[in-house]
DNA sequence: ATGCCTAGAGTATCTAGA
Protein backbone atom coordinates (compact mmCIF):
# COMPACT_ATOMS: atom_id res chain seq x y z
CA UNK A 1 0.00 0.00 0.00
CA UNK A 2 1.50 3.27 -1.16
CA UNK A 3 0.45 6.42 0.71
CA UNK A 4 1.57 9.82 -0.57
CA UNK A 5 1.34 13.48 0.41
CA UNK A 6 1.59 16.37 -2.04
CA UNK A 7 1.20 20.10 -1.48
CA UNK A 8 -0.16 20.98 -4.93
CA UNK A 9 -0.26 24.79 -4.52
CA UNK A 10 -3.57 25.22 -6.35
CA UNK A 11 -5.51 22.11 -7.42
CA UNK A 12 -7.01 23.68 -10.52
CA UNK A 13 -3.76 25.19 -11.77
CA UNK A 14 -2.01 21.91 -10.97
CA UNK A 15 -4.68 19.49 -12.20
CA UNK A 16 -2.73 18.27 -15.27
CA UNK A 17 0.35 17.74 -13.12
CA UNK A 18 -1.62 15.91 -10.45
CA UNK A 19 -3.29 13.63 -13.00
CA UNK A 20 0.06 12.87 -14.64
CA UNK A 21 1.52 12.04 -11.23
CA UNK A 22 -1.41 9.79 -10.22
CA UNK A 23 -1.21 7.98 -13.54
CA UNK A 24 2.51 7.34 -13.32
CA UNK A 25 3.00 6.60 -9.61
CA UNK A 26 -0.42 5.16 -8.84
CA UNK A 27 -0.49 5.85 -5.07
CA UNK A 28 -3.23 3.98 -3.24
CA UNK A 29 -3.81 7.02 -1.07
CA UNK A 30 -2.93 10.63 -1.83
CA UNK A 31 -3.20 13.47 0.68
CA UNK A 32 -3.29 16.85 -1.04
CA UNK A 33 -2.79 20.27 0.53
CA UNK A 34 -3.14 23.90 -0.55
CA UNK A 35 -6.05 23.24 -2.86
CA UNK A 36 -6.70 27.01 -3.05
CA UNK A 37 -10.23 26.28 -4.21
CA UNK A 38 -13.68 26.69 -2.74
CA UNK A 39 -15.50 23.42 -2.09
CA UNK A 40 -17.57 23.71 -5.28
CA UNK A 41 -14.48 24.55 -7.35
CA UNK A 42 -12.76 21.23 -6.62
CA UNK A 43 -12.30 19.16 -9.84
CA UNK A 44 -14.09 16.13 -8.51
CA UNK A 45 -15.04 14.68 -11.87
CA UNK A 46 -11.49 14.72 -13.21
CA UNK A 47 -10.17 13.03 -10.06
CA UNK A 48 -12.89 10.39 -10.16
CA UNK A 49 -12.33 9.81 -13.88
CA UNK A 50 -8.71 9.04 -13.01
CA UNK A 51 -9.97 6.23 -10.79
CA UNK A 52 -9.86 7.91 -7.40
CA UNK A 53 -12.54 8.35 -4.79
CA UNK A 54 -12.10 11.62 -2.91
CA UNK A 55 -13.13 13.60 0.12
CA UNK A 56 -12.05 17.22 0.41
CA UNK A 57 -12.36 20.35 2.49
CA UNK A 58 -12.04 23.42 0.33
CA UNK A 59 -11.64 27.10 1.09
CA UNK A 60 -11.78 30.07 -1.24
CA UNK A 61 -8.33 31.27 -2.32
CA UNK A 62 -6.28 29.58 0.42
CA UNK A 63 -5.63 26.34 2.28
CA UNK A 64 -7.79 23.31 1.48
CA UNK A 65 -7.02 19.58 1.92
CA UNK A 66 -8.16 16.39 0.18
CA UNK A 67 -7.77 12.63 0.58
CA UNK A 68 -7.82 10.47 -2.57
CA UNK A 69 -8.10 6.68 -2.69
CA UNK A 70 -7.49 4.56 -5.77
CA UNK A 71 -10.50 2.42 -6.67
CA UNK A 72 -12.04 3.19 -3.29
CA UNK A 73 -14.09 5.79 -1.49
CA UNK A 74 -12.37 7.30 1.56
CA UNK A 75 -14.71 7.32 4.54
CA UNK A 76 -14.44 10.70 6.20
CA UNK A 77 -14.23 10.53 9.98
CA UNK A 78 -13.11 14.07 10.89
CA UNK A 79 -13.09 17.52 9.33
CA UNK A 80 -10.94 20.06 11.16
CA UNK A 81 -8.77 19.60 14.23
CA UNK A 82 -10.62 19.50 17.54
CA UNK A 83 -9.94 22.15 20.14
CA UNK A 84 -10.95 25.42 18.50
CA UNK A 85 -14.47 25.71 17.05
CA UNK A 86 -13.62 29.23 15.85
CA UNK A 87 -10.86 28.02 13.53
CA UNK A 88 -12.27 28.51 10.02
CA UNK A 89 -9.18 27.47 8.04
CA UNK A 90 -9.37 24.21 6.04
CA UNK A 91 -6.25 22.45 7.20
CA UNK A 92 -7.18 19.00 8.50
CA UNK A 93 -9.15 16.07 7.15
CA UNK A 94 -9.26 12.48 8.38
CA UNK A 95 -10.59 9.43 6.59
CA UNK A 96 -10.45 5.65 6.71
CA UNK A 97 -9.06 3.88 3.64
CA UNK A 98 -8.25 0.20 3.35
CA UNK A 99 -8.05 -0.35 7.10
CA UNK A 100 -5.78 2.67 7.64
CA UNK A 101 -6.76 5.90 9.37
CA UNK A 102 -5.37 8.73 7.26
CA UNK A 103 -4.90 12.23 8.70
CA UNK A 104 -4.18 14.82 6.01
CA UNK A 105 -2.81 18.06 7.41
CA UNK A 106 -1.60 21.45 6.27
CA UNK A 107 0.11 23.05 9.23
CA UNK A 108 0.20 26.86 9.18
CA UNK A 109 3.33 28.43 7.77
CA UNK A 110 3.65 30.95 10.59
CA UNK A 111 5.60 33.73 8.88
CA UNK A 112 6.37 36.39 9.72
CA UNK A 113 7.54 35.58 13.21
CA UNK A 114 7.08 36.74 15.82
CA UNK A 115 3.47 37.76 15.32
CA UNK A 116 -0.11 36.54 15.22
CA UNK A 117 0.53 34.09 12.36
CA UNK A 118 3.30 32.43 14.31
CA UNK A 119 1.06 32.30 17.38
CA UNK A 120 -1.61 30.62 15.27
CA UNK A 121 0.93 28.11 13.99
CA UNK A 122 2.01 27.13 17.49
CA UNK A 123 -1.57 26.92 18.77
CA UNK A 124 -2.54 24.75 15.78
CA UNK A 125 0.51 22.58 16.40
CA UNK A 126 -0.50 22.13 20.04
CA UNK A 127 -3.96 21.01 18.95
CA UNK A 128 -2.37 18.56 16.50
CA UNK A 129 -0.16 17.16 19.27
CA UNK A 130 -3.20 16.63 21.50
CA UNK A 131 -5.14 14.93 18.72
CA UNK A 132 -2.14 12.81 17.69
CA UNK A 133 -1.80 11.58 21.28
CA UNK A 134 -5.39 10.35 21.26
CA UNK A 135 -4.82 8.62 17.92
CA UNK A 136 -1.65 7.02 19.20
CA UNK A 137 -3.35 5.86 22.38
CA UNK A 138 -6.13 4.25 20.34
CA UNK A 139 -3.62 1.77 18.93
CA UNK A 140 -5.08 2.18 15.46
CA UNK A 141 -3.00 2.00 12.27
CA UNK A 142 -2.63 5.74 11.59
CA UNK A 143 -0.64 7.86 9.15
CA UNK A 144 -0.42 11.62 9.71
CA UNK A 145 0.66 12.96 6.35
CA UNK A 146 1.03 16.46 5.08
CA UNK A 147 2.86 19.74 4.86
CA UNK A 148 4.04 20.33 8.44
CA UNK A 149 5.87 23.55 7.60
CA UNK A 150 8.68 22.47 9.90
CA UNK A 151 12.29 21.75 8.99
CA UNK A 152 12.96 19.26 11.81
CA UNK A 153 16.76 19.67 12.00
CA UNK A 154 19.58 21.45 10.17
CA UNK A 155 20.11 18.19 8.27
CA UNK A 156 16.75 18.78 6.62
CA UNK A 157 17.73 21.93 4.72
CA UNK A 158 20.41 22.71 2.16
CA UNK A 159 21.80 25.54 4.32
CA UNK A 160 20.06 26.95 7.37
CA UNK A 161 21.93 30.28 7.47
CA UNK A 162 19.51 32.40 5.47
CA UNK A 163 16.50 30.71 7.15
CA UNK A 164 17.40 31.23 10.80
CA UNK A 165 14.61 33.72 11.41
CA UNK A 166 12.05 31.79 9.40
CA UNK A 167 9.07 30.26 11.18
CA UNK A 168 9.96 26.82 9.72
CA UNK A 169 13.23 26.62 11.68
CA UNK A 170 12.25 28.23 14.96
CA UNK A 171 13.02 26.28 18.14
CA UNK A 172 9.33 26.52 19.09
CA UNK A 173 8.35 24.82 15.81
CA UNK A 174 11.07 22.17 16.04
CA UNK A 175 10.34 21.45 19.69
CA UNK A 176 6.73 20.72 18.83
CA UNK A 177 7.69 18.39 15.98
CA UNK A 178 10.04 16.63 18.38
CA UNK A 179 7.25 16.32 20.94
CA UNK A 180 5.09 14.66 18.29
CA UNK A 181 7.82 12.13 17.52
CA UNK A 182 8.34 11.55 21.23
CA UNK A 183 4.81 10.17 21.39
CA UNK A 184 6.22 7.25 19.40
CA UNK A 185 5.46 8.12 15.77
CA UNK A 186 7.92 7.05 13.07
CA UNK A 187 9.18 9.81 10.76
CA UNK A 188 9.14 7.54 7.73
CA UNK A 189 11.36 9.50 5.33
CA UNK A 190 14.06 9.97 7.95
CA UNK A 191 13.74 6.32 8.90
CA UNK A 192 14.15 5.22 5.28
CA UNK A 193 16.94 7.65 4.36
CA UNK A 194 19.10 7.47 7.52
CA UNK A 195 21.89 10.07 7.20
CA UNK A 196 21.10 10.74 3.56
CA UNK A 197 19.67 14.11 2.61
CA UNK A 198 16.10 14.19 1.40
CA UNK A 199 14.04 17.23 0.45
CA UNK A 200 10.39 17.77 -0.45
CA UNK A 201 10.26 21.51 -1.15
CA UNK A 202 12.29 23.87 -3.31
CA UNK A 203 11.43 27.56 -3.28
CA UNK A 204 10.53 29.17 -6.60
CA UNK A 205 13.09 31.90 -5.85
CA UNK A 206 16.72 31.96 -6.85
CA UNK A 207 16.89 28.76 -8.86
CA UNK A 208 16.54 26.71 -5.73
CA UNK A 209 15.36 23.66 -7.69
CA UNK A 210 18.21 23.79 -10.18
CA UNK A 211 20.66 24.05 -7.27
CA UNK A 212 18.86 21.32 -5.29
CA UNK A 213 18.58 23.85 -2.46
CA UNK A 214 15.67 22.10 -0.79
CA UNK A 215 13.89 21.68 2.52
CA UNK A 216 12.23 18.65 4.09
CA UNK A 217 8.90 19.91 5.37
CA UNK A 218 6.40 17.30 4.11
CA UNK A 219 6.24 14.38 6.49
CA UNK A 220 4.48 11.04 6.90
CA UNK A 221 4.30 9.93 10.52
CA UNK A 222 3.33 6.31 11.19
CA UNK A 223 1.80 4.82 14.30
CA UNK A 224 3.28 1.55 15.58
CA UNK A 225 1.07 -0.87 13.59
CA UNK A 226 2.06 0.89 10.35
CA UNK A 227 5.70 1.50 11.27
CA UNK A 228 6.28 -2.24 11.38
CA UNK A 229 4.90 -2.45 7.84
CA UNK A 230 7.19 0.29 6.46
CA UNK A 231 9.14 -1.06 3.48
CA UNK A 232 10.39 2.03 1.68
CA UNK A 233 9.79 5.77 1.48
CA UNK A 234 10.68 8.32 -1.14
CA UNK A 235 10.08 11.57 -2.96
CA UNK A 236 8.80 11.82 -6.53
CA UNK A 237 11.33 14.48 -7.47
CA UNK A 238 10.49 14.29 -11.17
CA UNK A 239 7.20 16.08 -10.44
CA UNK A 240 9.10 19.18 -9.25
CA UNK A 241 11.02 19.25 -12.55
CA UNK A 242 7.95 19.34 -14.79
CA UNK A 243 6.67 22.57 -16.43
CA UNK A 244 4.61 24.80 -14.11
CA UNK A 245 5.30 22.71 -11.02
CA UNK A 246 4.21 23.10 -7.44
CA UNK A 247 7.07 24.18 -5.19
CA UNK A 248 6.65 20.84 -3.36
CA UNK A 249 7.20 17.30 -4.66
CA UNK A 250 5.11 14.32 -3.54
CA UNK A 251 6.51 12.25 -0.67
CA UNK A 252 5.36 8.68 -0.02
CA UNK A 253 5.64 5.48 1.95
CA UNK A 254 5.29 1.90 0.77
CA UNK A 255 3.70 -0.37 3.37
CA UNK A 256 3.70 -4.14 3.31
CA UNK A 257 0.56 -6.19 3.79
CA UNK A 258 -1.02 -6.15 7.22
CA UNK A 259 0.10 -9.14 9.22
CA UNK A 260 -2.40 -10.96 11.32
CA UNK A 261 -2.26 -9.72 14.89
CA UNK A 262 -0.26 -12.01 17.06
CA UNK A 263 -2.13 -13.55 19.89
CA UNK A 264 -0.88 -12.34 23.22
CA UNK A 265 0.30 -14.99 25.58
CA UNK A 266 -0.77 -14.63 29.16
CA UNK A 267 2.01 -14.87 31.69
C1' DA B 1 16.88 44.48 5.38
C1' DT B 2 14.59 43.25 1.04
C1' DG B 3 13.65 41.08 -3.38
C1' DC B 4 13.60 37.11 -5.86
C1' DC B 5 8.88 33.53 -7.97
C1' DT B 6 4.04 31.83 -8.16
C1' DA B 7 -1.03 31.80 -7.34
C1' DG B 8 -5.72 33.76 -6.35
C1' DA B 9 -8.86 37.52 -6.55
C1' DG B 10 -10.16 40.50 -9.76
C1' DT B 11 -8.73 43.58 -13.36
C1' DA B 12 -4.27 47.19 -10.15
C1' DT B 13 -2.10 45.54 -7.09
C1' DC B 14 -2.92 43.48 -3.06
C1' DT B 15 -2.29 39.04 0.29
C1' DA B 16 -0.11 34.76 0.98
C1' DG B 17 3.08 31.28 0.51
C1' DA B 18 7.80 29.19 2.83
Q: Could you read off the pLDDT of A175-195 as tens digits, one per residue?
A: 999 999 999 999 999 999 999
A205 touches strand B (CB under 7 A): yes
The pTM of the whole model exceeds 0.75: yes
Q: Could you read off the pLDDT of A148-165 as tens digits, one per residue?
A: 999 999 999 999 999 999
Res A261: pLDDT: 63
| CA angle at A189 for the pair A188 and A194, rounded to the nearest 5° | 105
Rounded distance, CA A19 to CA A188, Å?
Answer: 25
- Antiparallel, parallel or unpaired: β A92-97 and A100-106: antiparallel
A109 touches strand B (CB under 7 A): yes
Q: Could you read off the pLDDT of A63-107 as tens digits, one per residue?
A: 999 999 999 999 999 999 999 999 999 999 999 999 999 999 999
Q: Which residue from A142, A224, A132, A125 is spatially nearest to A177, judged by alpha carbons?
A: A125
Residue–nucleotide distance: A169 CA to B2 C1' (Å): 20
pLDDT at A257 over 70: yes
- A259: CB partners within 8 A, 6+ apart: A228, A229
A149 is in an annotated binding site: yes
Give the 3-state secondary structure of residue A72. coil
Superfamily name and number for A2-255: Endonuclease/exonuclease/phosphatase (3.60.10.10)
The protein footprint on chain B, as nucleotides within 7 A of a CB, is 3-9, 16-18
Q: Which of A28, A52, A92, A106 is catalytic?
A: A106
A198 touches strand B (CB under 7 A): no
A87 is in an annotated binding site: no
Res A263: pLDDT: 60
Amino acid sequence: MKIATFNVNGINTRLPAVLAWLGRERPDVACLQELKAAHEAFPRQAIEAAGYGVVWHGQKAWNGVAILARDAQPVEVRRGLPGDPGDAQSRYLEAEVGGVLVGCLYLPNGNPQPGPKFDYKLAWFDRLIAHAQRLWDSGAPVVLAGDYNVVPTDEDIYDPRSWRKDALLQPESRERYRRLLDQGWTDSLRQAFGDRRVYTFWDYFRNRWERDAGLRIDHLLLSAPLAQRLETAGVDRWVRGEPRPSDHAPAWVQLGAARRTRRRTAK
